[in-house]
């Protein structure tokens, strides 16, 4: 099956803006670094997350806590994402086959609320750690 000109135009409309955005983000980080730090001259709350995650890959947890003490939340977010997918998305697809019942809807809503509460609590922890480190001038 050959790709027609219309298929190519649809693909170009869909993917060229994403490629341009990705290229601009890569260029921005390559030339100026973190945009938040470039504009405000203050490290952002996410400063050190990448270095902390790479330090955990090397099992250097002391360095990971030095770079950003909130690094365990990245792994928590991954776990929440996986749980959210297998608990909220897959059952919804299965329920389309069997139809909705009230108890199922209540279960899904309570799980969504619990996941949102965990995410908001983790953001609060990140900002608390950020402001603590910012005021003590211990951000690397």
Q: What is the 3-state secondary structure (H, E, C) of 35-96?
A: HHHHHHCCCCCCCCHHHHHHHHHCCCHHHHHHHCCCCHHHHHHHHHHHHHHHHHHHHHHHHH
Q: Is residue 122 part of a domain?
A: yes
Q: Is residue 77 part of a domain?
A: yes
Q: Is residue 113 part of a domain?
A: yes
**pLDDT in the model for residue 114:** 75
Q: Is residue 94 part of a domain?
A: yes
Domain that holds residue 93: 32-136
Q: Is residue 116 part of a domain?
A: yes
Query: Which of 29, 73, 24, 82 shows the shortest CA–CA distance to 49?
Result: 73
CA distances from 17 to 10, 12, 29, 37 (A): 12, 8, 18, 26
Q: Is the pTM of this model over 0.75?
A: no
Q: Is residue 64 part of a domain?
A: yes
CA pair distance 56, 71, nearest whole angstrom: 9
Q: Which two tokens stand for residue 39?
A: 């504009």
Tokens 């100026």 found at? 32
Q: Is residue 47 part of a domain?
A: yes
Is it the case that residue 116 has pLDDT exceeding 60?
yes
Q: Is residue 121 part of a domain?
A: yes
CB-based contact 54:42 (threshold 8 Å): no
**pLDDT in the model for residue 69:** 87
Mind listing the pLDDT tens digit for each residue in 50-90?
A: 888 889 999 999 999 888 888 888 888 888 777 766 766 66
- What is the number of domains present in the chain? 1
């Amino acid at each position: 099956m050959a790709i027609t000109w219309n298929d190519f135009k649809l693909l170009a409309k869909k993917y060229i803006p994403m490629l341009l955005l990705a290229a601009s983000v890569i260029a921005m980080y390559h030339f100026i670094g973190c945009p938040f730090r470039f504009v405000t001259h203050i490290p952002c709350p996410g400063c050190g997350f990448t270095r902390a995650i790479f330090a955990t890959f090397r099992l250097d947890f002391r360095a990971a806590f030095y770079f950003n003490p909130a690094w365990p939340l990245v792994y928590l977010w991954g776990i929440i994402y996986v749980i959210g997918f297998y608990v909220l998305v897959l059952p919804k697809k299965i329920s389309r086959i069997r139809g909705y019942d009230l108890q199922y809807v209540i279960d899904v809503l309570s799980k969504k609320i619990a996941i949102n509460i965990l995410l908001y609590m983790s953001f609060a922890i990140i900002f608390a750690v950020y402001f603590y480190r910012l005021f003590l001038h211990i951000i690397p």
